[in-house]
Amino acid sequence: MQSQNGIWIGGKHSVEAAILKRKRKIIQVVALQKNKFLDEQNINYEIKTDKFFNKIFSQMHIAHQGVAALVSALPNVSLESIGEDKTIVMLDGITDPMNIGSIIRNCVAFGIQSIIVRDREFNEKSSSMIKASSGAIEEIQICKIPNLSNAIKYLQSKDFWVVCLDGQANQKIQDYKWDKKNLIVFGSEGEGVGNLIKKNCDHSLKIEINNAIESLNVSNAVAVTLYSIQEQKLTK
């Protein structure tokens, strides 16, 4: 939920990660009762009632777990600053905040340091996205840009190979050699990666699944892909 002064985030993992990482300003912290973590971190916080929490989170259907924080927006990072990463994830046309939060969580789980999103498709004020990331959004760099095609061309000039996930592709992800700098592009479940973006990619890969299922949830596709990369590196 957005406030005039910042963004309310709720839930134990989200609040603790924001406090520990210090990527953004902590404006206010509230709890339903005495909180051991907040006390150990010497955080000033106020004890509030259920009515206060319900006013903030009732429309977002978020389990706040009795703790919340009012925080500033996440810092945006430049495309140039993430160009040294080995693997970068890009999202094309993915707007569901729960999916984005889950994708961020998966990225952090597999060691991805940066993610690129189209600025108009990323709502950093979404408390449901923050909650779905389970604190992982504080661990990753978010690069918000207006034009994905330009970003692809820039990263290609920095020796990145651009790979997109496409259910109609001929090559399977497990057959691809993940030994280069890679930008991996994921599209929405309904539309997939856009045609213009796909034309700019160097390779298209597919996750082979049972014919009874049309597609995987995009956050699951991200997890499968990143696991494939990790597994290949471990078996070298």
Residue ranges of alpha helices (H) inside the chain are 12-21, 36-40, 50-57, 97-109, 127-132, 148-157, 195-200, 218-234
What's residue 3's pLDDT? Answer: 57
pLDDT tens digit sequence for 65-110: 999 999 998 888 999 999 778 899 999 999 999 999 999 999 999 9
Most confident of 33-42, 73-82, 162-171, 181-190: 33-42
Q: Are 184 and 89 in contact (CB under 8 A)?
A: yes
Amino acid symbol at 217:
N
**Closest by Cα among 177, 166, 161 to 208:** 166
Q: What percent of the chain has pLDDT over 90?
A: 68
Domains assigned to the chain: 7-71 (no CATH), 80-234 (3.40.1280.10)
Please state, in angstroms and rounded to a whole number, the distance separating the CA atoms of residues 28 and 6: 9
Higher per-residue pLDDT: 23 or 39: 39
87-92 vs 160-165, strand pairing mode: unpaired
Q: What is the mean pLDDT of residues 44-49?
A: 96
pLDDT tens digit sequence for 117-135: 999 999 988 888 988 999 9
Q: Is the pLDDT of residue 61 over 70?
A: no
Query: ∠206-209-210 over CA atoms, to 5°?
Result: 150
What's residue 221's pLDDT? Answer: 94
What's residue 158's pLDDT? Answer: 93
Q: What is the mean pLDDT of residues 200-217?
A: 88
